[in-house]
A and B are shown apart, each in its own frame.
Chain A
């Protein structure tokens, strides 16, 4: 501490004052003499003897350290965050942003509210889950360098998912301000470069006014479609030091960007193609970014009476809508016009791909099918990470936010639909509705297979949960990979009844992101439910402590197949290719011997735990007990030992 304060007078901001003080000290402090430091023999000298100024500086008494301060840059930063309506600051506490942290608690009176997380990955994923439910971002703060490195994978998921997250990282910019030890490896010249390839924008403000403008700019960039995470590096001194120029500081006005709509001529052309098509199909992924989005997509589909294939990146389309053909993807092969709205992986959706020794692909579309795209994802891409997917040829490419452009497109379609077409469209819709109903009935029949088996089938697990929550104002905010039963069996029809997936498929998303969504749902009084895999759970089990600590109600059902199951299948395929050892592929892919007791883990974190449930007959009572806990405002985990998928 004394060493650190000795050098504090030479900071960038206090440079002139410090220089003057040093000069004065040199004038009044007697220079050190040979009596104090014995001189070495002349011939062994490697450098000149320190002169009086250097000697004086090295022996200068500590600068008088003010005992108190009445303001700090952190106070102003908190005011800026509050001006943006940021409700929460999810953190894993760290010294490099202690100034901001203290200011949030005391100056802001815990506004934004601190959400204590035990890992930065949890904090970012909570912010990702929150933003998708609430439609606005929260902030997370992490330590410089090492905390940001922990956060990086989650930031990547948010980037791939095109979700706004305000990421703040502490840093100590000035080398002469860093204490010996950890502050050096925890500081960087440009810590934003760690995440620059998967954030929309970043900055390291050098003054408080610079911070204010950058924070508002960051918020605006993050929330403008295509949305994404942004990063601000905050200098510790800027947070901690008194505000020197309070009267000149101002918080900039934030005005959200009206999302870009597709070109009117292109929209008209798209409408003409759709109306004239015999079998148009809508494919979509991340259309609904506000509660209005689903209704707009439904209106377009109903106007055209065409099938919709929803990749479920958001709550785009009601699961039981008769035009929902998401589990009848064969209709792509019959489509003569396909409109892809806010698609993430269009090529993958329109292609049959075989993961075999020689990887092969062929179009799922019929020859001559016309493809229209409408979306903003490709308006902001980066080079290194390949989340943009493979190139897809299209016939009409419209740059415009899907949700914002839908009303104009639907109106353009309506203008072209005459009575004759309306009748034909109606017949088409009736046919699709019958096929949809057949799909639903087939799903129910399929769900009966293995109904009483142990381990419990995923179909039964999902049916049992739905039976007990269906009368709540429920919100399903997570499922394990490939767990499609809720979309096949449940009646998802409200904008908050589905919250999409991770985006980047980085494992560890599901539990904390579900918790973030539950945090958003809490103030609306919704009942939050999520399914999550056991492998995912073990990346961030500490999220349950956050749930218990902040009393975030959530029913978290662990789909416990005791494996990293996708990898188990991949490895089995590898062994089969080689014609060897197919019985040994549990090595390195399973989570058994010992089995993990997730209910005990939950209880250890302060949450309610049920299970492991291995028999189907025990599931309903366990769920009932857990649901009672959730209704009381607490988190509960039900560990269900399941068949793989």
Chain B
């Protein structure tokens, strides 16, 4: 239930950000992320506890969204970390700098994400 709400918020953020020049401006300001450092941060600050080490999603009080190869643009991703919806705690810049978030974002973008389940026979029982 909470996942749907969270996804709805994300979808709204994507829609809003896709609407105009804001996206372009943000894209120009996108910090360069270091995926290796992002992986270290992702594991250290507890992102993996709800979203899984492979970004596969998981559960906190309710289901936690999949983050591998997230469809969110960086600005939306950062906005959700600073001011999340539902049960996710806010990570302020006191514990996670903008550069840290960029690194985590780069790490999530570097993940392989989902495959076709048809390629895995035991998922078709």
Q: Do A and B come from one complex?
A: yes
CB–CB B116/A644 < 8 A: no
- Interface positions, chain A 554-591, Cβ under 8 Å from B, are 565, 568-569, 572-577, 579-583, 585
- Interface positions, chain B 102-125, Cβ under 8 Å from A, are 111-117, 119-120, 122-125
Chain B residue nearest to A573 in the complex (CB): B89
Contacts of B115 in A (CB 8 A): 445, 448, 451
Q: Counting CB contacts under 8 A, is A464 at the interface?
A: yes
Chain A residue nearest to B7 in the complex (CB): A330
CB–CB B117/A352 < 8 A: no
Contacts of A464 in B (CB 8 A): 122
Give which listed residue, A353, A449, A575, contacts B54 with CB less than 8 A: A449
Tell me the minimal C-beta distance from A485 to chain B in angstroms: 11
Chain B residue nearest to A620 in the complex (CB): B122
Contacts of B125 in A (CB 8 A): 463, 466-467, 470, 491
Contacts of B61 in A (CB 8 A): 353, 355
Q: When chains A and B are docked, how far (Å) is the Cα of A568 from the Cα of B2?
A: 20
Contacts of A489 in B (CB 8 A): 123
Q: When chains A and B are docked, how far (Å) is the Cα of A489 from the Cα of B123?
A: 8
CB–CB B60/A569 < 8 A: yes
Q: Counting CB contacts under 8 A, is A441 at the interface?
A: yes
Give which listed residue, B60, B113, B123, contacts A444 with CB less than 8 A: B123
Tell me the minimal C-beta distance from A335 to chain B in angstroms: 13
Per-position contact with B for A477-490: 1 when CB-CB < 8 Å, else 0?
A: 00000101000010
CB–CB B122/A463 < 8 A: yes
Given A579-B94, A582-B95, residue A450 in contact with residue B89 (CB < 8 A): no
Contacts of B60 in A (CB 8 A): 569, 573
Q: At the interface with chain B, which of A51-59, A64-72, A452-460?
A: A452-460
> What is the total number of residues of chain A having a CB less than 8 Å from a CB of chain B?
49
Contacts of B52 in A (CB 8 A): 449-450, 457, 643-645
Given A448-B117, A464-B122, residue A582 in contact with residue B91 (CB < 8 A): yes
Contacts of A574 in B (CB 8 A): 89
Given A355-B87, A448-B116, A449-B113, residue A364 in contact with residue B1 (CB < 8 A): yes
Give which listed residue, A353, A364, A453, contacts B53 with CB less than 8 A: A453
Q: When chains A and B are docked, how far (Å) is the Cα of A582 from the Cα of B4?
A: 27
Q: When chains A and B are docked, how far (Å) is the Cα of A482 from the Cα of B2?
A: 14
CB–CB A585/B46 < 8 A: yes
Give which listed residue, B5, B44, B88, B89, contacts A352 with CB less than 8 A: B5
CB–CB A643/B1 < 8 A: no
Chain B residue nearest to A572 in the complex (CB): B46
Contacts of B112 in A (CB 8 A): 449
Q: Counting CB contacts under 8 A, is A25 at the interface?
A: no
Q: Counting CB contacts under 8 A, is B68 at the interface?
A: yes
Chain B residue nearest to A309 in the complex (CB): B1
Count of A-B residue pairs with CB < 8 Å: 139
Q: When chains A and B are docked, how far (Å) is the Cα of A619 from the Cα of B4?
A: 33
Q: When chains A and B are docked, how far (Å) is the Cα of A484 from the Cα of B57?
A: 12
Tell me the minimal C-beta distance from B71 to chain A in angstroms: 14
Tell me the minimal C-beta distance from B4 to chain A in angstroms: 5
Q: Counting CB contacts under 8 A, is A26 at the interface?
A: no
Q: Counting CB contacts under 8 A, is B56 at the interface?
A: yes
Q: When chains A and B are docked, how far (Å) is the Cα of A453 from the Cα of B115?
A: 13
Q: When chains A and B are docked, how far (Å) is the Cα of A265 from the Cα of B66?
A: 48
- Interface positions, chain A 245-295, Cβ under 8 Å from B, are none
CB–CB A568/B56 < 8 A: no
> What is the total number of residues of chain B having a CB less than 8 Å from a CB of chain A?
46
Chain B residue nearest to A570 in the complex (CB): B60
CB–CB B56/A459 < 8 A: yes
Contacts of A573 in B (CB 8 A): 60, 87-89
CB–CB B89/A572 < 8 A: yes
Given A352-B1, A352-B5, A467-B125, residue A444 in contact with residue B56 (CB < 8 A): no
Q: Counting CB contacts under 8 A, is A607 at the interface?
A: no
Q: Counting CB contacts under 8 A, is B49 at the interface?
A: yes
Contacts of A572 in B (CB 8 A): 45-46, 49, 89
Q: Counting CB contacts under 8 A, is A378 at the interface?
A: no
Tell me the minimal C-beta distance from A492 to chain B in angstroms: 13
Give which listed residue, B49, B55, B120, contacts A448 with CB less than 8 A: B120
Tell me the minimal C-beta distance from B14 to chain A in angstroms: 18
Q: When chains A and B are docked, how far (Å) is the Cα of A261 from the Cα of B56?
A: 45
Per-position contact with A for B35-73: 1 when CB-CB < 8 Å, else 0?
A: 000000000111011101111111111001010100000
Given A352-B5, A354-B86, A450-B53, residue A444 in contact with residue B117 (CB < 8 A): yes
- Interface positions, chain A 351-389, Cβ under 8 Å from B, are 352-356, 364
Contacts of A445 in B (CB 8 A): 114-117
Tell me the minimal C-beta distance from B52 to chain A in angstroms: 5
Q: Counting CB contacts under 8 A, is A190 at the interface?
A: no
Chain A residue nearest to B96 in the complex (CB): A582
Chain B residue nearest to A489 in the complex (CB): B123
Q: Counting CB contacts under 8 A, is A522 at the interface?
A: no
- Interface positions, chain B 73-108, Cβ under 8 Å from A, are 86-92, 94-96
Contacts of B54 in A (CB 8 A): 449-450, 453, 457, 643
Contacts of B53 in A (CB 8 A): 450, 453, 455, 643-644
Tell me the minimal C-beta distance from B92 to chain A in angstroms: 4
Give which listed residue, B49, B87, B92, B117, contacts A644 with CB less than 8 A: B49
Chain A residue nearest to B8 in the complex (CB): A330
Chain A residue nearest to B86 in the complex (CB): A354
Tell me the minimal C-beta distance from B122 to chain A in angstroms: 4
Chain B residue nearest to A459 in the complex (CB): B56
**Residues of B that sit less than 8 Å from A by CB:** 1-2, 4-5, 44-46, 48-50, 52-61, 64, 66, 68, 86-92, 94-96, 111-117, 119-120, 122-125
**Residues of A that sit less than 8 Å from B by CB:** 329-330, 332, 352-356, 364, 441, 444-451, 453, 455, 457, 459, 463-464, 466-467, 470, 482, 484, 489, 491, 565, 568-569, 572-577, 579-583, 585, 643-645
